[in-house]
Structure 1
């Protein structure tokens, strides 16, 4: 299996990757095909595919913020069971993020991820059972992700200004004994991460105002 970076929508592997995203995720979570051109050319955004026998069987996108010493996993897709795709993506991403931290002269304190709440998620995720929200949540809990203790919404990637719920903002701490994060770190991260979406819903602004009134946020089990 090969771990290949995608840096242009003209790469034939990108069409396969985008099709896999459309199969697995609901529309509000998928950026339109042509709007990927700029993000893929952004050196700070890392989009990789797992290629098995010429086919894209998995993909992940992530980034590292040296000033905050945190990473973000934008998404991870395991497109087929029984190939070890999840572990392959996890290990490949971890090595790359370690490289990025070392290049910036920083030590990462952990990685954010938006994780579906299976109780709220009603989408079928393409019928691919490794992507079932119950399965994914348990796997991510085993890896060490924890849930930040606040009600979470994010702006739709359809760029229509609507709020997307049904997810938790989670964090994988490098220090397994960490039990909380500074709320200011979370607000700074979300402000920067969603700066790409200028049309944000009132629910998101309300959530951010509430976060600004907190000192810390507890990390709770998934």
Structure 2
């Protein structure tokens, strides 16, 4: 068996992009998947890093992330494991972190930590993720916990990627400290600044999202809790 390749996608014309998009549609709920054609512009953004794990010509995993130099934080947009038992999760986590550190070094910045959204199965109810056990919400939360993520102490909602103004509930916003693994909280200003930047691409945002952001603007810090 050939070794797994870590391949970056920068164009929807990349032959591996269609495989990745089909994989996303199999494992994620519809409101979490951006339409095929709408990927064209984001993929050309040098700050958005989309990689796939390729094994024998097949996309068996994928991850998207970005680093905000001014905020000194990263965001894990998604991590997808397409097949169990191949070690795709650890492979993606290691290669992603190595790539992120190279990005931070190239711009002479610092790396304060990384955000990630994760479904809370106790809030979202039963969720199916394409029959891939590693994508089960309970499993993914345990993995994030082992990586060092903790959930932010705030009720979380995010806009649907359908850009229809609908609110998506049942998730937690998490943060993995890098600079100080023992830190107990993060500045609320960092959280709301990040959210406004990250979701600026969606003009149609629900009232619940705006209320959440305004609530954060009234706070000084947001505690980090166990997942």
- Listed as ranges, the matches of 1:198-213 within 5 Å are 198-213=203-218
Partner of 1:38: 41
Instruction: List, as ranges, runs of 4+ consecutive aligned residues in structure 1 with deviation greater than 3 Å.
Output: none
Tell me if the contact between 2:121 and 2:127 (Cα under 8 Å) persists in the aligned partners: no
- 2:198 aligned to 186, 193, 196, which one? 193
1:154 — aligned with what? 158
TM-score (norm: length of structure 1): 0.99
For residues 32 and 5 of structure 1, what CA distance do their matches in structure 2 show?
19
Q: What does residue range 178-189 of structure 1 map to in structure 2 within 5 Å?
A: 178-189=183-194
The aligned residue for residue 174 of structure 2 is: 170
- State the shift of 1:107 in Å: 1.5
2:63 corresponding residue in structure 1: 60
* From 11, 25, 36, the counterpart of 2:14: 11
Q: TM-score, normalised by structure 2?
A: 0.97
Query: Structure 1: which 5+ runs fail to align?
Result: none
Shift of 1:8: 0.8
CA deviations on 1:140-197 (whole Å, 9 max, x unpaired) are: 1011100000000000001111000110000000111110000000010000000000
RMSD over equivalenced CA pairs, Å: 0.6
Supply the distance in 2 between the matched residues of 1:103 and 1:161 (Cα, whole angstroms).
37
Q: Does 1:24 align with 2:13?
A: no
- CA drift of 1:120 comes to 2.2
Match of 2:135 in 1: 131
Number of equivalent positions: 222
Gaps of 5+ in 2: none
Distance 1:136 1:199 in 2: 29
